[in-house]
Amino acid sequence: MTLEEALLFIAFVLVLILCAVLPCLALAEIVARCSACLARHRLKAEQRAFALLKNWLSPEQLAQYEREGQFEVIGCHSGKRYRIRRARNVNIDELSKQGSRVAVWCFGPHGYLPVGDVMLAQKIALETNERAALQVANSSH
């Protein structure tokens, strides 16, 4: 192999490497931008969900939520108190008359939703149709 052929071969290999590497770098950049965009979208969705939740809370519930990150609701059928904690699941405590936890309930809407939307759905369900909500819920006593 002559020097000219060797240089041509090296140039060819370098071009092949660049053809393989550049799309990967471009793809990595695209993935990074999409991930950042998705994170911004989720943050905005969480912010809107918590704003909506706060609009639905009574003044007492709102004060509890801002102070403790949780709030209490009264079941429409039983009159029992439930504490809804800031989480997507396993976040509903059934409370005794003295305020201690007697059971933990888990129910919510299907799909990936912002935490504020889940908490609002749980609040509305317990305050308007407690029996149906608890029928589909999982619990630990």
pLDDT of the chain, 141 residues: tens digit per residue: 787 777 777 777 776 676 676 676 666 777 677 788 888 889 999 999 999 999 999 999 999 999 999 999 999 999 999 999 999 889 999 999 999 999 999 998 988 899 999 999 999 999 999 999 999 999 987
Confirm if 92 and 121 have CB atoms less than 8 A apart.
no
Considering Cα of 115, then 130, then 125, then 50, what sign does the dihedral take? Answer: negative
Q: Is 103 exposed, middle or buried, given 0-12, 13-18 or 19+ CB atoms closer than 10 A?
A: middle
Dist CA 70 CA 92 (whole Å): 10
Look up the pTM and report it. Answer: 0.76
Q: What are phi and psi of 11, to 5 degrees?
A: -60, -40
**What's the number of domains the chain is made of?**
1
Q: What's the confidence (pLDDT) of residue 34?
A: 74
* Segments forming the whole domain that contains residue 28: 1-141
Dist CA 47 CA 29 (whole Å): 27
